[in-house]
A and B are shown apart, each in its own frame.
Chain A
């Protein structure tokens, strides 16, 4: 099958998936007890006050009707209006998305070379004390919830040692790059969490490749070991790792919810948490859709890269 057709089919599947993600999110939020009217007016409002606000926000319309209206507005590029803040959702999430994407990108820039380096070293030194230390540490960090890492890092570096700012607070309109010191702790925590899987993946893949006949042949031919590792083994071992990296970028955006909440970082994850708490459906829909799209896009790019590198997968 031609590559373009495969890609077109994947994009079509992605669009359909996103539609169902949006529909499911809408239905789930509507099944949850309470809505934005009760969230706005609180428990001290009388039932008729809540009913009046519900009517003025259009929440008395049938769920599917509201979804279809939201969907057709979306097709015209309109994410709707926040029910809580009465502001257009598009600009609300744009700045947040930029912040989160920048944070995720910085993390990837840190994670990729470090993970590949440590994974390769562990594989080359397989069975050594260094390999065991790297494997043990990555297994430990892999099992450690991100919020524990985040709180631990904040406690040590921001409260006890006071080396770094504890909260990653960025004022609206300000560039992230003006506050790089505030990003150190979030990047450290995300990178520690994200690197573990890639290190283990690289290590396993490298061990397989290093045991392959062509590597042995190259070594027997007298090619220096470092040259065999860097020029022959590592590029081949990278194929599954690169696919994993593509997938992890999308997952990283979704996984920022916890980190952004703990570090008070004005990203899309923090906005999503707020939208859930206040039952602000249009904001929540937009956040979920953007994160799902990023995940799907990462997956698509990983698939395309795999197909380009391995023609067998095209069939």
Chain B
């Protein structure tokens, strides 16, 4: 049976043939999935290449403000975007294509247990000091420090040592063969910091990036100006970049329409839909990599019972959830970090959707008695509470009582994750590297495997083997095998992938959609 012939949706106990391709086609036609074609519907820019214009300033608004001037702390998208403008990585992740940045070349040694990077010559930090291997060593040693590393900790992979081999050569040594080394190095958390100046970061961040720090108003805005000595003489084009946080949808719309801001990025679907037909604005919504999870904590009752976990996978009507929570601007979740179109998602693996009789049968077979559960969710992370509501509605039809608890994020982070059996998460994003997508999320020692339990028989060993192998075909086979296990065994239920929505005024150019990482502001210009 071919992939497209596979019957994969079952409703009300009646199996009917509905191929994945048919689904994608019909979902797109009713707006359930924001395929790439959405761009043309909502007004994509002309394809003709234009010569970038130098100068001008750009103000970009995100829902949450820049949260820190320290790359070890910054976590909001706005904060990471600002850090990405001030600092460089060794390697730039251009939507999955790795390009030289502060490293001009790199190579694996000792079976990918070690990676050697040759560094760019003549690069200077914003304060005029030279960039050398000492800065890379200091940064990566920091990333290995659990206390001081902050968000950097773990981001570079299973690192065990970093050594300088001269002023322009660095060797990263891993605790196991790690073929994803360069991808991890390109992670949004692995910015290169100036050695010996870490304490100054919060007051005045100094990087090698295309923009230099100008000002920061905590909780409101951050501004950077062009770095005239950037190692790429062509860029940046902008003279000034300001990133602001605007939480309220009406204020976002008013700010864009009155010219306070040039770009609204990462906005909610409602805001996008309100603005998509406004003349003079360019509105784009494209399939994104962001998703929310429903966590069924494997190490806690009743989800220590596999049949209960499986029953919960059949409770939510995913298509309905995309229509109601995402207003059609999203794609069906696969319970894995890979979307159905991704090569890492097994071609013959059926997608799950609501099947209440099957869920009921699984619950009966599980042997657990009547269930009354609390689910925890956060209105601060929309639309994840809609998952809780959809689950509650469906669960009541199979005799499960669900009580929804909406808590603030700080309470959620302190008292819910890892401590409660059932909750929705904040926003996750599929990364371009398998260390993040598989090890951190599904390995029993992964920091974001909340249950700290193996996500299926043999999954830990498989993930370790995947990280070690350099054979791409073999890697895909093994990832397919892991995915087919985690969609059954793991703690995570992923009901949807959200579209990425951006609205900007017509003068903004070169603002490309990020598939995995952030916008490279050095390539943006204003006409």
| Residues in A lying within 8 Å of B, measured CB to CB | 32-35, 38-49, 52-53, 55-56, 82, 84-87, 92, 95, 151, 154-155, 158-159, 162, 164-167, 169, 171-173, 182, 261-264, 266, 270-271, 273-274, 277-279
**Considering only CB atoms, which chain B residue lies closest to A85 in the complex?**
B218
Q: A53-B147, A264-B244 are in contact. Are A87 and B254 (CB under 8 A)?
A: no
Are B218 and A169 in contact, with the CB atoms below 8 A? no
A155 surroundings in chain B (CB, below 8 A): 250, 254
Q: By CB atoms of chain B within 10 A, which of A32, A45, A56, A271 has the most?
A: A45
Cβ-defined partner of A154 (8 Å) among B67, B254, B418: B254
Interface of B, secondary structure class, is: loop
Q: Is B456 part of the contact surface with A, judged by Cβ < 8 Å?
A: no
Binary flags per residue of B237-268, CB closer than 8 Å to A gives 1, else 0: 00000101111101101110111110000000
Residues of chain A within 8 A of B151, CB atoms compared? 41
Q: Decide if B411 touches A172 in the complex (CB within 8 Å).
A: no
Assess whether B73 is interfacial by the CB under 8 Å rule. Answer: yes
Q: How far is the CB of A290 from chain B (nearest CB, A)?
A: 16
B17 located at the interface, meaning its Cβ lies under 8 Å from any Cβ of chain A in the complex: no
The answer, among A45, A158, A171, for a CB contact under 8 Å with B258, is: A158
CB-based contact B414/A34 at 8 Å = yes
A-B contact count (CB 8 A): 160
A254 to B170, CA, bound (A): 54
Q: Which residues of B contact A (CB under 8 A)?
A: 65, 67-70, 73, 75, 146-147, 150-151, 153, 202-203, 215-221, 223, 242, 244-248, 250-251, 253-255, 257-261, 407-418, 425-426, 447-448
Q: How far is the CB of B436 from chain A (nearest CB, A)?
A: 11
Given contacts A38-B410, A271-B218, contact A154 B251 (CB under 8 A): yes
* Known A172-B221, A262-B248, A264-B246; further 15 A-B contacts with Cβ < 8 A: A33-B414, A34-B413, A43-B412, A84-B68, A85-B218, A95-B217, A159-B254, A166-B254, A166-B260, A167-B254, A167-B258, A169-B244, A266-B217, A271-B218, A278-B410
B146 touches A166 (CB 8 A): no
Interchain CB contact (< 8 A) of B411 among A33, A92, A159: A33
Q: Please determine whether B202 and A277 come into contact, CB atoms closer than 8 angstroms.
A: no
Residues in A neighbouring B255, C-beta threshold 8 A: 165-167, 169, 264
Shortest C-beta distance, A28 to chain B (Å), equals 14
User: Are B426 and A42 in contact (CB-based, < 8 A)?
Assistant: yes
Chain A residues near B250: list those with CB within 8 A.
151, 154-155, 159, 166, 262
Q: A271 and B447: CB pair below 8 A?
A: no
Q: Is the CB of A165 within 8 A of B259?
A: yes
Q: Which residues of A contact B410 (CB under 8 A)?
A: 32-35, 38-39, 277-279
Are A92 and B218 in touch, CB under 8 angstroms?
Answer: yes
| Chain B residues whose C-beta falls within 8 Å of the C-beta of A47 in the assembled complex | 418
CA distance A38 to B216 in the complex (A): 23
**Which partner residue on chain B sits nearest A267 by CB separation?**
B220
Of the listed residues A35, A95, A159, A262, the one surrounded by the most CB atoms of chain B closer than 10 A to its CB is A159
> How distant is the Cα of A53 from the Cα of B223 in the complex, in angstroms?
28
Q: Which residues of B contact A45 (CB under 8 A)?
A: 413, 447
- B215 CB contact (under 8 Å) in A56, A85, A173, A271: A173
Which residues on B sit within 8 Å (CB–CB) of A44? Answer: 447-448
Contact in complex: B251, A38 (CB < 8 Å):
no
Contacts of A46 in B (CB 8 A): 447
Please measure, in the bound complex, the distance between the C-alpha atom of A263 and the C-alpha atom of B252, giving whole angstroms.
10
| Known interface pairs A38-B413, A40-B73, A277-B409; A165-B251 also in contact (CB < 8 Å) | no
Chain B residue nearest in CB terms to A152: B250
What CA separation (Å) do A264 and B247 show in the bound complex?
A: 8
Q: List 17 A-B contacts (CB under 8 A).
A: A34-B411, A34-B413, A38-B413, A43-B426, A84-B67, A87-B202, A151-B250, A154-B250, A158-B258, A159-B253, A162-B258, A167-B246, A169-B221, A169-B261, A172-B221, A264-B244, A266-B221
Contact of B220 among A43, A154, A270 (CB under 8 A): A270
Kindly list chain A residues whose C-beta atoms are within 8 Å of the C-beta of B447. 44-46, 49
Report how far A277 CA is from B381 CA in the complex, Å: 13
> Which among B147, B223, B254, B408 is the interface contact of A165 at CB below 8 angstroms?
B254
**B residues less than 8 Å from A92 (CB atoms):** 218
Closest to B445 in A: A46
- Nearest CB on A from B236, distance (A): 19
Chain A's nearest CB lies how many Å from the CB of B422? 15
Q: Which residue of A lies closest to B416 (CB)?
A: A43
Contacts of B242 in A (CB 8 A): 171
Q: By the criterion CB–CB under 8 Å, are B150 and A41 in contact? A: yes
Contact between B411 and A274, CB atoms less than 8 A apart: no
Contacts of B408 in A (CB 8 A): 33-34, 277
Residues on A with beta carbons closer than 8 Å to the beta carbon of B414: 33-35, 38
Contacts of A86 in B (CB 8 A): 70, 202
> Chain B CB within 10 Å — which of A32, A40, A52, A273 has the most?
A40
